[in-house]
Chain A
């Protein structure tokens, strides 16, 4: 009897410690970038492009990278969504449930998910060379879209596979086609989950450095064309940290702070928006 209680307490302790550790990691990361980055934080950081000598600027800001990242991750997310939605609807509505095709596609998605982003970068670069393209915003968008496609697909797949069959049947029973059912019932029912999937994909896309290093390149100018190189925040952080000048290195933490804030902001707004759409959901 006593042994069982001890077991219970050990396990409880373990769970508490792990949970605290998890939260602590988040707090520490935010604290670190805040303390190291805040001294370099000025309004000019987010309103100006790099200026004033040194490699990548000790003055001015990183507006080029902020806008570059938002354009790039935004474009990639939209592109990936247009590719992911048909795949996921096919898996869940058209294909035979758990048939060999479905299993194969899911397996492919899992493998794709596991491929490191630098490999996507190298792959994107090869393709671009083949077509004679230079590093550009467009190249970055396409590469990042490929990178986040499996993530988005699997996240949405999870959501759509939870849609009750009875709900589909209810729609079929009044004479709806599969397409109508997909559009009006499944997407509606899965909307909050889809928003989360898109958010996860966007977060992954905006934070990835390796896939854009060759494909999007870097530029001090605010991106104004799909066919010109564009800066991104992760690369800005990477380059700033890599300089030998402490002033510029500190600005890397300010950049990291900005990147984290963007992700946090998007995460919170999506949550609020998706809550608005959950009121019709069938539980």
Chain B
């Protein structure tokens, strides 16, 4: 039985100039679990992730064909409202990028853009999402200090709170722990596991052990091609494809 899905990718091809980065990828992303995209570097993991909220658009000379259906709407349709699509997804990048403003304003940034002006409402939104991201206790007394003054691990959780504050259904995370120390990484991983009952979380990682810890569902890409996807246990324990097995065993990288 196919699980329910928000995101359906159909024959997605992405080119950067002459480079064919994603080759004919088709997949249904299951809902409300952690989906991990694995594969060697340069295989298109990040590009696939960034196709989901059309951040690939910001790359010069990019060309896309095929469809990414989010809630039955093809997001690559030229008539689509981009901000609306992006609002549905929170993004965590490799290095945290807090906005050049206070901790409070970082979380309130999205809600304000989307029309929440009421001070009390904003206060409660900020508190709520900082709590969800597991940061509230550490920053509640310095909400109005610059976001750059907290540690990098806290910054990444702040970015998570900022992303969640626009009430997305999906969290996109591109190697979200690669710049963090082990303890901060664990914080992030723990919040993913906590959040997966409410959100669909798509994580790109090149750390296989992290993939094993997090994944409910695994997507394996190699040279821009979707080699295998399926429930984590199946892919890790008994992969169908020889290439997947070799990658998991560390024969190819």
Chain A contacts to B: CB under 8 angstroms: 96-99, 164-177, 180, 184-185, 188-189, 279-283
Contact = CB atoms under 8 A, between A and B. Distances in A.
Place the interface of chain B in its size category: 20 to 34
Contacts of A165: 58
B48 to A, nearest CB: 16
Contacts of B98: 170, 282
Interface string B113-149: 1100000000000000000000000000000001110
A174 B109 contact: yes
Contacts, number: 87
A175 B97 contact: no
Interface in B51-91: 53, 55, 58, 60-61, 83-84, 86-87, 89-91
Given A165-B58, A170-B93, A280-B148, A175 B110 contact: yes
Contacts of A176: 83, 109-110, 113
Given A167-B100, A174-B86, A174-B113, 5 more contacts: A169-B91, A173-B89, A174-B110, A180-B113, A283-B148
Contacts of A188: 99-101
Interface of B is mostly: mixed
B45 interface: no
Given A176-B83, A176-B113, A283-B148, A170 B91 contact: yes
Nearest to A277: B100
Given A173-B90, A174-B113, A280 B166 contact: no
Contact of A174 (B60, B100, B102, B162): B162
Given A172-B58, A174-B109, A174-B166, A166 B93 contact: yes
A96 B62 CA distance: 11
Contacts of B91: 169-170, 173-174
A265 B99 CA distance: 32
Given A174-B113, A174-B162, A166 B95 contact: yes
B83 A170 contact: no
Nearest to A283: B148
Contacts of B148: 280-283
B153 interface: no
A174 to B, nearest CB: 4
B44 interface: no
A96 B102 CA distance: 31
B232 interface: no
